[in-house]
Every structure is written in structure tokens, then in C-alpha cells.
């Protein structure tokens, strides 16, 4: 089944403890991206990647890192999480940047 898989679905952590949210797609998509969704603010793009080893900042990249070493994987790294990064995170992919986006089921992160 064609899908975007994010792990974990739920994560509670403490301030400053490094964490990684994984994202994998099995559709051979070139374009992948990360979003956070907050009440009243909608989805905001954190980082995106046009292809392997090509990444760029979105609207809210501060406090996040990404890497794209393989086409199928696009992990989101929080080196030193803070409470203002408590949010619902989504990974998405598309064949190319202007194709329909396919979303994962989300990761709800709580930083205390």
C-alpha cells in the first residue's frame, strides 16, 4: 500500500532532550516536507526537500534539523526541544513539488 509512515504517533519528552521523528514513503517520491499544525495557525512548513541531499527551510525552521540521505526517508530532528515546539507534526511527500501531497498520520509531540 502506498503510504507515508511517521513514527512515533505520540511523544512526550522533556526540555533539552534530543529527539528524532522518522518519516518514510514507499512511492518513490522526490519531494518531501515537514509541517507543524497549531490551533488558529494552521499548517506551517518547517523544511522541505526536493530530492536526495537537497533540503531547504520553510516558514518556521528554527529549532529543527532535517536530512535526506535516502530518497524514501526524511527524519525531523529536534536537537534541544522546548515547550513552544509542542505541536502536531506532519510529514508529506509528492512525486514532484507540484503534484498532490500525500500526508502521514501525524506525530503529536509534547515537550514539558
Cα–Cα distance measured from residue 34 to residue 26, given in angstroms and rounded to the nearest whole number: 17
Paired with 25 in beta bridges are 4
Is residue 21 a contact point for other proteins (CB under 8 A)? no
Is residue 35 a contact point for other proteins (CB under 8 A)? yes
Question: Which range binds other proteins by CB under 8 A, 15-23, 43-51, 62-70, 77-85?
Answer: 43-51
Cα–Cα distance measured from residue 39 to residue 111, given in angstroms and rounded to the nearest whole number: 17
Q: Which of 43, 52, 77, 95 binds other proteins (CB under 8 A)?
A: 43
Residue 27, classed as helix, strand or coil, is coil
Is residue 99 a contact point for other proteins (CB under 8 A)? yes
Question: Which range binds other proteins by CB under 8 A, 14-22, 70-78, 79-87, 89-97?
Answer: 89-97
Q: Which of 50, 52, 77, 95 binds other proteins (CB under 8 A)?
A: 50
Cα–Cα distance measured from residue 109 to residue 81, given in angstroms and rounded to the nearest whole number: 10
Residue pair 3/25 in contact (Cβ under 8 Å)? The answer is: yes
Give least dist CB 10 to other proteins, A. 11
Residues ≥6 apart with Cβ < 8 Å to 96: 30, 31
Chain residues that interact with other proteins, rule: CB under 8 A: 4, 33, 35, 40-45, 48, 50, 56, 58-59, 90, 92, 97-106
Amino acid at each position: 500500500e502506498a503510504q507515508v509512515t511517521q513514527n512515533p504517533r505520540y511523544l512526550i519528552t522533556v526540555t533539552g532532550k534530543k529527539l528524532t521523528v522518522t518519516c518514510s514513503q514507499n512511492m518513490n517520491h522526490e519531494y518531501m516536507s515537514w509541517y507543524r499544525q497549531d490551533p488558529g495557525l494552521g499548517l506551517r512548513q518547517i523544511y522541505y526537500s526536493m530530492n536526495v541531499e537537497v533540503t531547504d527551510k520553510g516558514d518556521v525552521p528554527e529549532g529543527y534539523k532535517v536530512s535526506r540521505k535516502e530518497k524514501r526517508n526524511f527524519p525531523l530532528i529536534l536537537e534541544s526541544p522546548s515547550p513552544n515546539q509542542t505541536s502536531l507534526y506532519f510529514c508529506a511527500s509528492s512525486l514532484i513539488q507540484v503534484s498532490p501531497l500525500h500526508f502521514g498520520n501525524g506525530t503529536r509531540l509534547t515537550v514539558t
